[in-house]
Amino acid sequence: MLLRYRYRIYPTAPQRQSLARSFGCARVVYNDAVAARKHAHREGLPYPATTALSKALITDAKHTTERAWLSEVSAVVLQQALADADRAYKNFFASIKGKRAGSRIGPPRFKKRSNTQSIRFTRNARFAVLGNGRLHLPKIGNLKVAWSRDLPSAPSSVTIIKTPTGRYYASFVVLVDDGAELAEPIPDEDAETGIDLGLKSFAVLRGGKVIDSPKFFRKLERKLKKAQRALSRKTKGSANRAKARIKVAKIHEKIKHTRADWVDKQVHRIVAENQGIYVEDLHVKGLAKSRMSKSTADAAFGMFLTRLESKAARTGRTFVRVDRYFPSTRSCSACGALTGPKGLKGLKVRTWVCECGAEHDRDANAEINIRREGKRLVAAGQADT
């Protein structure tokens, strides 16, 4: 399987200038490719092939006065920008034909100069990790890398990313054996859990174990509002506005990194302690459009479920998504009757008593039902594990 390994890099001032030049050239080639295909569509001409665009927008363009500066950067960077434009159009065509999963996407748009920029080098570019730990990139130089861990194999590509706060990262794509991260099976039959996600508590696991919601955005929301107000008062184009923008970006980045680190730790703990993991297949996009959208986005349910599923697959754990319409909250875990709270008013009900006499905690009861349904799906062969 292919995995990404990301590291912080520290380019020198001349290297930052070279990277800025590469970011700009890649953006221009991408926009030229989109413009050429938009022109062909308007004029009723055949769809331009990638090879024809490569010759016209890169090879021939380097010999013109308007685009002579394209020769100052690696040709692989420009080719990858062209490949990104081609992939964007293929995804668009697949979407309108119904061949692409997910919601409908629109046609590719022109890229604007933004505060997040990236370029990609493949093996054809002959990038290399040197013996002294530096990363060699053609026409940029040898970059200092903060190696937090070793790469498991030789990388097939590396993406250089500049964040809105001005930090630089190198993201390597490496091939890892499918069994490289397999964990020892847990023989204990009780080493499995259902996971009931919510906003009051982030998750409830087997035995009533609760993972509290960290609310990363809520904790820094006041500080963020203050920084955004200060930014809005600065004159556009001024140095003070640039400084204020970075302050806002740093708060956003702190929220993002803290949340991602917390999610990774929760995922690692759950996978290490359980052989079977059963979760409810939440409609995250739908929740993001509800009146609870801010809390839903802050909880990052989508990130948590995606990383949990990936980690479970790599370590050999059983992972099952229970249908989102399964009545886990309303069902009594003792008798199976649908006597639990329902509707929006039911969200306020935390405990309830079934007609059979069983008293339930709302979330703990849902976890039991999700776990049972997940095990049933596995036994019936109806779940991808």
Backbone angles phi, psi at 383, to 5 degrees: -125, 140
Residue with tokens 């091939």: 175
261 given a catalytic annotation: no
Residues 6+ apart with CB under 8 A from 50: 82, 83, 86
> Is 264 designated active site?
no
363 is annotated as an active-site residue: yes
The catalytic position among 196, 298, 367, 373 is 196
Tokens coding 316 = 């050999």
From 32, 192, 363, 367, the catalytic residue: 363
Cα separation, 354 vs 338, whole angstroms: 9
Distances (CA, A) of 75 to 57, 59, 71, 124, 330: 11, 9, 7, 10, 60
Backbone φ and ψ for 130, nearest 5 degrees, come out as -80, 165
Q: Say how many CA atoms lie within 13 Å of 341 toward its Cβ.
A: 17
Which residue has tokens 């009594």? Answer: 332
Q: Which residues pair with 211 in a beta bridge?
A: 203
Strand pairing report for 351-353 and 201-204:
unpaired
Q: Are 61 and 36 in contact (CB under 8 A)?
A: no
Task: Indicate the residue type of 328.
Answer: S
The active-site residue, picked from 280, 298, 309, 373, is 280
Which residues are known catalytic residues? 196, 280, 363
